[in-house]
Structure 1
Amino acid sequence: MSKIMAPEEPRRPVLAVVVVTAAIVLLVLAAVGLEVRAADGAREGDEAAALQAEVLLQGLRSTYSRVGGVQARFVQTSSGSSYLEPLVQTGQLAWKRPGLLRWDFQTPTARLYLSDGSTLWVVEEAERRCTVYRGVDASLKRFFGFLTGMEDVKKHFDVSVVLSGDELLEGHHVLELRPNDGEASVQQAFVRIDQKSGFVASVVLLSPFGDRTQTVLESIRTDADLPDSSFKFERQEGYEWIEASLP
């Protein structure tokens, strides 16, 4: 029987990397354009659903095309076969064009994820350890490609409007994304958009292994400009420095 590793294990980062990256990327997917359709099984109102989706995406494009970066608090809840019990983590995140990412997990265990779009640093201050991944997996590279407009989202995702089901949330529009890549680390994603603010309020990611991760964004800001140095980690004396590669 394969070993079930602790959900916070830094040397098992693939799902965590995809989760933290996808949550930010989904904030700005509309800026590069999406092709949408009515959800399967919708009987009446297919045309209305398609129109709603197009209006929704136009609003997102207008909102996020002017955004150079995003900062927010987050509450992330993960559960499923990879977790002995549900894991709730909180902290701060920041994203900056063209592909800089900073996820600061503060509770229950401090851990910092930094990326300049090609290198990932996982910093554990309490253990004085930094694990460096020089090559990211295909999903991470693809997500960053979306941010810079280098890849066509329509080639990789089937996008639909959610009209019913458990992922609907009052006061929110919901989009469903299904990767066309059968080997994708994320099997399905739900993006909830606040009807009042027009901002993405939460993202739900489902893995092929039955894991579910919900990231709720709070206190979203677009007016803060962090220096590029905030998204990198320089080698420091006293830190164990581990060069690693993703499976």
Structure 2
Amino acid sequence: MRARILAVLLSLLAGPALADSLATLERFYTNTRTLAGRFTQTVSDANGTVTETSSGQFAIQRPGRFRWDYQAPYEQTIVADGRELWVYEPDLDQVTVRPIDADSADAPGLLLSGAAFPSKLFDIASEKDGWLRLTPKQRDSGLGAVRLKLAGDSVQALQLDDGLGQTTRIELLDQQRNGALPAARFSFKPPPGVDVIRALPQPPTGGKP
């Protein structure tokens, strides 16, 4: 999700709690050039039952580049190089690549890398315990609410609702901010013999974004 959102958001404050949360978010976007660490991810169904857990390493370079390496229980690599999004699944010997949609907010890496955070897409509200709720203005976007857990000057966790009752929560751990990250980490070259599937850009879902 871009730093340009903040100038707009700060003019739409709904109260002190929201102001504090947005100030924290502003510091994160202003002061973070790179971010790396590890993550844990849980997926829950509509009843709150955990149906999937995974973990791995992440790296982010603003604007618009990130790498998400799932290591357990199975391997998967997701890389955004600033232009395209690559999803590599070793067990299937395939990689899917598609253009990055600047208005897309359905990927945690895009949110954090500053590649897709246009204020026109979200209504913003403050919740308890440092959570910030972002609700898509475009109701048929296929995405439910996005929540960010803020602490200090950083984003500690993300929670994404798919609009159908499934919730994905990602905890960002052992964060290292503004360290040097090699450019090669944010590029992807398919291994020999891997099927490359090029997906078409997603069509508009209606309404003005």
TM-score (norm 2): 0.78
| Unpaired stretches in structure 2, ≥5 consecutive residues | 203-209
CA RMSD in angstroms comes to 3.1
Asked whether the equivalents of residues 30 and 61 of structure 1 are also in contact (C-alpha less than 8 Å), the reply is no
Q: C-alpha distance in 1, partners of 2:170/2:18?
A: 22
Residue aligning to 1:114: 79
Structure 1's 119 and 104: CA in aligned 2 closer, same or farther, altered over 3 A? same
| Unpaired stretches in structure 1, ≥5 consecutive residues | 1-24, 39-49, 164-171
Residue aligning to 1:190: 147
Asked whether the equivalents of residues 185 and 207 of structure 1 are also in contact (C-alpha less than 8 Å), the reply is yes
Query: Which is richer in strand?
Result: 2
Asked whether the equivalents of residues 93 and 104 of structure 1 are also in contact (C-alpha less than 8 Å), the reply is yes
Residue aligning to 2:206: none
Residue aligning to 1:209: 164
Q: Secondary structure at the match of 2:31?
A: coil
Residue aligning to 1:159: 124
How many matched pairs?
Answer: 196
Indicate yes or no: 2:140 matched with 1:173.
Answer: no
Deviations 1:99-134 (A, max 9, x none): 001110111110000112331111123443322224
User: Percent identity, aligned pairs only?
Assistant: 24
Deviations 1:172-197 (A, max 9, x none): 41111111011223211221112xx3
Asked whether the equivalents of residues 73 and 92 of structure 1 are also in contact (C-alpha less than 8 Å), the reply is yes
Asked whether the equivalents of residues 30 and 60 of structure 1 are also in contact (C-alpha less than 8 Å), the reply is no
Q: C-alpha distance in 1, partners of 2:115/2:168?
A: 25
Q: Secondary structure at the match of 2:104?
A: helix
Q: Secondary structure at the match of 2:58?
A: strand
Structure 1's 31 and 229: CA in aligned 2 closer, same or farther, altered over 3 A? farther
- For 1:1-247, what aligned pairs fall within 5 Å after superposition? 25=1, 34-35=9-10, 38=14, 50-80=15-45, 86-134=51-99, 136=101, 138-140=103-105, 147=114, 152-153=118-119, 155-163=120-128, 172-194=129-151, 197-245=152-200
Asked whether the equivalents of residues 89 and 107 of structure 1 are also in contact (C-alpha less than 8 Å), the reply is yes
- Offset at 1:86? 0.6
TM-score (norm 1): 0.67
Could you tell me which amino acid in structure 2 is paired with residue 230 of structure 1?
Answer: R
Asked whether the equivalents of residues 106 and 143 of structure 2 are also in contact (C-alpha less than 8 Å), the reply is no
Structure 1's 55 and 183: CA in aligned 2 closer, same or farther, altered over 3 A? same
Residue aligning to 1:10: none
Q: Secondary structure at the match of 2:130?
A: strand
Q: Secondary structure at the match of 2:164?
A: coil
Structure 1's 148 and 214: CA in aligned 2 closer, same or farther, altered over 3 A? closer
Structure 1's 32 and 224: CA in aligned 2 closer, same or farther, altered over 3 A? farther
Which structure's CA Rg is the greater one?
A: 1
Q: C-alpha distance in 2, partners of 1:129/1:199?
A: 34
Structure 1's 137 and 100: CA in aligned 2 closer, same or farther, altered over 3 A? closer
Q: Secondary structure at the match of 1:139?
A: coil
Q: C-alpha distance in 2, partners of 1:33/1:225?
A: 31
Q: C-alpha distance in 1, partners of 2:188/2:81?
A: 10
